[in-house]
């Protein structure tokens, strides 16, 4: 992983993420597999991007293993409740070493007790930590697009920020259970 630290402007931050992805063959393969599904508003989100940034800014020589790979998309017309499982099976057949989690964000408001989301970006704006609400997708070979519900500045500033749309208790529980401060000791918690 590269060791240079970019300025936290969106353009520079996005390009830095793309550069880091281009140095990570597993992430490149995962993005290519998801792009083949042609999911509406389909991205890989959460720790897939967040951990990449935190690892690089902590100058880790080895990438932190991914607990899961969160694939998100937005299809309000999808009627079959088992579609996500079929996508997961397809992805597991392609890259079985990854723990794929596929979720249609057009349905997640029911699980979360929110009003219906309007897009993947809207859904991400309800995630517990602001720095987790970041996603990437392959738009062409070696070309990527990145979105972030709260921008990328705090992610690059090594913050873990509570989203006030979610319980502070849930935020604190996630901090403890995920051991982020042990894995990335330069992180600063913002409530």
| pLDDT tens digit at each of 191 positions of the chain | 333 343 343 469 999 999 999 999 999 999 999 999 999 999 999 999 999 999 999 999 999 999 999 999 999 999 898 999 999 999 999 999 999 999 999 999 988 899 999 999 999 999 999 999 999 999 999 899 999 999 999 999 999 999 999 999 999 999 999 999 999 999 999 98
* 3-class DSSP assignment, residue 124: helix
The reported pLDDT for the residue numbered 106 is 96
DSSP 113: T
181-186 contacts: CB < 8 A, separation 24 or more? 183/54, 183/64, 184/54, 184/55, 184/58, 184/158, 185/58, 186/57, 186/58, 186/158
Closest-CA residue to 47 (of 170, 135, 166, 177): 135
Instruction: Provide the whole-model pTM.
Output: 0.92
DSSP 67: S
């Amino acid at each position: 992983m590269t060791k240079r630290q970019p300025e936290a402007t969106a353009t520079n931050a996005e390009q830095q993420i793309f550069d880091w992805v281009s140095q990570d063959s597993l992430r490149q393969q995962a993005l290519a597999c998801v792009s083949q599904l042609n999911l509406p508003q389909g991205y890989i989100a959460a720790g897939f991007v967040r951990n990449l940034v935190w690892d690089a800014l902590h100058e880790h020589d080895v990438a932190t293993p991914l607990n899961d790979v969160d694939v998100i998309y937005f299809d309000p017309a999808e009627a079959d409740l088992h579609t996500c499982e079929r996508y997961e099976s397809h992805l597991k057949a392609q890259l079985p070493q990854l723990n794929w989690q596929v979720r249609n964000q057009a349905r997640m408001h029911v699980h979360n007790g929110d009003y219906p989301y309007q897009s993947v970006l809207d859904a991400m704006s309800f995630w517990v930590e602001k720095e987790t609400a970041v996603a990437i997708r392959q738009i062409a070979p070696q070309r990527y697009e990145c979105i972030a519900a709260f921008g990328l500045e705090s992610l690059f500033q090594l913050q873990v920020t509570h989203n006030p749309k979610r319980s502070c208790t849930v935020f604190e529980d996630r901090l403890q259970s995920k051991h982020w401060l042990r894995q990335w000791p330069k992180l600063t918690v913002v409530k």
